[in-house]
Structure 1
Amino acid sequence: MVKIASRYRMVGGNGLFFPVLGFASVVAFMYMSYLRHSVNYQNHATLSFVGANGSHFLVDGKLFYVNGWNSYWFMDHAVHDHTRPRIRSMLQAAAKMGLTVSRTWAFNDGDYNALQLSPGHFDESVFKALDFVIAEAREAGIRLLLSLVNNLDAYGGKTRYVKWAWSEGVGLSSSNDSFFYDPSIRIYFKNYVKTILTRKNTITGIQYRDDPTIFGWELINEPRCVTDPSGDTLQEWLEEMSTFIKQIDNKHLLTVGLEGFYGPKSPKRKTVNPEFWAADMGVDFIRNSAPSTIDFASVHIYPDQWFKKKSLEGKLKFVADWMHSHIEDGERVLKKPVMFTEFGLSDLNKGFDPSQRDEFYKVVFDVIYESAKNKGAGAGSFAWQFLVEGMDEFNDDFGIVPWKRAETYKIITRHTCRLAKIHGGGVIPITGNMKDICNGRW
């Protein structure tokens, strides 16, 4: 879920003129910085592909549980020199916390800093920004879960595809949901996906589909198809697109990007869904996650968005029940890992205090830890969202700079350490900085 109502436009250049010598110095500095980055990338961390076996993730034959986070803004900020350092700062800080996977956007359709300017037409400078993000993640030893399109309007989304088809005179309908059934739009999206998967990184020289830095692909952020509550339209689209992706890239994991709602035919629609409306969104967690081309299930957690009148205690109880239900589905029905790829608590709630968000994080982490300890299907979680200092204008009411509040930082790193203990120090080695973090925190 993109919670940003509006994004501030940060455009380089302020009309100042530099003396010739000063300008030459700037150019020289930028050139030396480029060379320094090129050298650094030769010493990138060695990563293996993440695989799935039943309801577990595996890396080099060892169980792998994710303590991750969302920084959707990586590609957008990598476009300009003055914002690019934020990517490295965030990745390095995350690595020091023992975080292992970041979820971020690999799309920007026809918007500011657009990657896809129009169907099949791309801005190479923005593509190079995405190359940079992947190279920086590789350098930091962080994997990326890359989302391919947005159900919402932010960064273009399915609305942009529909407008493109409509403006070219080939669209069947102006409805946003025609994204899922219009043949022309399906072609647009397939061409986009193929371009992304076969892209050769200009920094590392590795095609995206061959790069283990990429944890996996997410088809669409929070899909909904409200014009067909039965779910048939969305299901057909998911099956077609996931099959298409697997034909091009069978090395990476693939998920849908669901919020986790149960559909109209599910017995859990009345007992687990947040409210009655959730069954009418044209989605169903079990059905959408079931195809063999989908490697793991995805779920989001926004109790204060889904409930307006529950107390904090009531919301936290819902969170635990919501997570347990989906983990149970992963173990007993889907036989696949389940990842909670977004969770957040708004600071706009009446009487909000940061300690409430800490309690929320604890509940999410405790459920994941208990599942991991029992070798369950609860494979990991991703906080929405983490930022670095100086990004207040890009924040929403869910985002945090995780190291600014000592208690929050402690809760996150403690979760890392508990998961690392389960791994036996294999996937998340207890050495160096991690040894200092985890000492005495079991």
Structure 2
Amino acid sequence: MQVQLGRIVFATLAGLASIGGAAAQAAPGEDGFVAVKGSHFVRKGQPYYIAGTNLWYGGYLGAPSGVGQRARLTRELDRLKALGINNVRVLAVSEKTAMKSAVSPATTAAPGEYDEQLLKGLDFLMAELGKRDMTAVLYLNNFWQWSGGMTQYLNWFTGSPAHDPNASKDYERFMAENARFYSNDKAQAAYRQVIAHIVGRVNTVTGRAYRDDPAILSWQLANEPRPGNSKATKAEKTVYIKWIADTARYIRSLDARHMVSSGSEGLAGSSQDEQLYLDAHRTPDIAYLTYHLWPANWGWFDPKRADQTWAGMMDKSLHYLNLHIDDAKRLGKPIVLEEFGLNRDGASFAIGSGTTVRDRFYGEVFGLIQQRAAQGDPVAGWNFWAWGGAGRAANADYWWKPGNDFVGDPPQEEQGLYSVFDSDAATLKVIGAAAQRLHGLEGGKR
């Protein structure tokens, strides 16, 4: 595919022109855009904390036709706003793939070919967030295959079959292969074309360019980018660090008003190499650190043996949280726990099953983050995974099929695995109380 360099250059120049005009209007953090001051977020001159969720499918619900459900989307946002949620983390683009464990339709049918209905869905979502004074983190790629992601880029440009680890069960192979994305020149050129297309887009609902929209909290390079598998080499780690720095710098060349984040899971996504995690976030074009917490996925917790595995899981989880907050202190940057979750009681997927263990886990996580934030540590907030809202699993085996409701669990997982539904009253009470406590820290300037 021949990359349309002219379009990218034009978008870059237009972005720089827009930036220059904005800089004359207000200082960072004073103009409605979220910015970093010291090691904390500020907005409109006041401290700003994220009490958020993951709503990866928000742009899908916003579409004017097809999979869109705009009435549901507005109800979901109203419910989240009432809970005290002020931020959502959203999949901005997806790639069409033959893999069964991926969502469909997709934003990008082929390099340079976009589904305008889904992009209008993202426009609608951003407009509705703006009405509610909420913000979004928009991620522009995915290390995992459930939205096509890096796997599909490699399929387009190397001709290699799109490897679906849900089918092969070989995640080590998958991760090693996916890391080739960072050094594939054609894939990187196409990825940057997508970045320029989204960052330079004018919202069809508001008439406002995305680069000028304060409802965007940050652009994110990808969902959970990794340098390779658990045995990533020094060379692979070097390529990964450079990719983060170069891509963040490129986004900032198009749009210097918005922050850029990596989407990293932390140590779990860094081959357990703390120095790699620090180096990946050291570049000045990455505004803040991110990390995720998945005790069951990492083998720390067995939901079918909750009593026996709880204590060990919580020890490891709290250590993991504290370690990353301490890393943020070392770099002098804010940090967001942008994914965490736990199974329903007994590892059930049924919406009527209990959430006692999950609610206890949420309480512990919220408590530690609140404590560290109140102490003045560089904690910028949290996004729980994930909002299922009014969505419901449609199939007896709980696996998603095209045409089913979107919920918090993407198609690579059972629908109900980690979703928080609007009927989970006890969980909603825990989330709402935690959001209220966190927002309580916003009352005065640091």
How high is the TM-score relative to the length of structure 2?
0.76
**Per-residue Cα deviation, 1:230-281 (whole angstroms, up to 9, x for no partner):** 21121111111011001011111111011111798xxxxxxxxxxxxx437x
Aligned to 1:372: 373
Aligned to 1:61: 45
Aligned to 2:296: 304
The residue type paired with residue 198 of structure 1 is G
Give the 3-state SS of the residue equivalent to 1:202 in structure 2: coil
Choose the corresponding residue for 1:339, options 336, 339, 357. Answer: 336
Aligned to 1:363: 364
Aligned to 2:153: 161
Bigger radius of gyration? 1
Residue 350 of structure 1: CA displacement?
Answer: 5.3
Choose the corresponding residue for 1:318, options 316, 319, 331. Answer: 316
| Paired residues for 1:415-430 under 5 Å | 415-424=434-443
Task: Out of 98-107 and 367-376, give the one that drifted further.
Answer: 367-376
Aligned to 1:145: 137
Change (3 A) 1:141 1:261: same
Change (3 A) 1:396 1:386: same
Aligned to 2:386: 385
Question: Residues of 2 paired with 1:345 and 1:362: CA distance?
Answer: 12
**Per-residue Cα deviation, 1:3-57 (whole angstroms, up to 9, x for no partner):** xxxxxxxxxxxxxxxxxxxxxxxxxxxxxxxxxxxxxxxxxxx981000012100
| Paired residues for 1:424-439 under 5 Å | 424=443
Question: Residues of 1 paired with 2:424 and 2:250: CA distance?
Answer: 44
Give the 3-state SS of the residue equivalent to 1:306 in structure 2: coil
Choose the corresponding residue for 1:235, options 235, 241, 265. Answer: 241
Is the Cα contact below 8 Å between 1:67 and 1:381 reproduced in 2? yes
Question: Residues of 2 paired with 1:396 and 1:109: CA distance?
Answer: 24
Give the 3-state SS of the residue equivalent to 1:245 in structure 2: helix
Change (3 A) 1:279 1:135: same
Give the 3-state SS of the residue equivalent to 2:287 in structure 1: coil
The residue type paired with residue 272 of structure 2 is A
Is the Cα contact below 8 Å between 1:65 and 1:372 reproduced in 2? no
The residue type paired with residue 328 of structure 1 is D
Aligned sequence identity (%): 28
Is the Cα contact below 8 Å between 2:31 and 2:43 reproduced in 1? no
Change (3 A) 1:122 1:391: same
Question: Residues of 2 paired with 1:52 and 1:119: CA distance?
Answer: 34
Aligned to 1:84: 70
Residue 421 of structure 1: CA displacement?
Answer: 2.2
Residue 348 of structure 1: CA displacement?
Answer: 7.2
Aligned to 1:96: 82
Question: Residues of 2 paired with 1:392 and 1:283: CA distance?
Answer: 41
Question: Residues of 2 paired with 1:191 and 1:292: CA distance?
Answer: 23
Change (3 A) 1:384 1:149: same
| Unmatched tracts of structure 1, length 5 or more | 1-45, 169-173, 265-277, 427-442
Question: Residues of 1 paired with 2:186 and 2:41: CA distance?
Answer: 36
Question: Residues of 2 paired with 1:60 and 1:419: CA distance?
Answer: 18
Aligned to 2:427: 408
Q: What is the Cα-based RMSD across aligned positions, in Å?
A: 2.6
Residue 425 of structure 1: CA displacement?
Answer: 8.2
Change (3 A) 1:110 1:60: same
Aligned to 2:284: 292
Is the Cα contact below 8 Å between 1:262 and 1:283 reproduced in 2? no
How high is the TM-score relative to the length of structure 1?
0.76
The residue type paired with residue 229 of structure 1 is T
Aligned to 1:211: 213
Is the Cα contact below 8 Å between 1:368 and 1:379 reproduced in 2? no
Task: Out of 180-189 and 371-380, give the one that drifted further.
Answer: 371-380
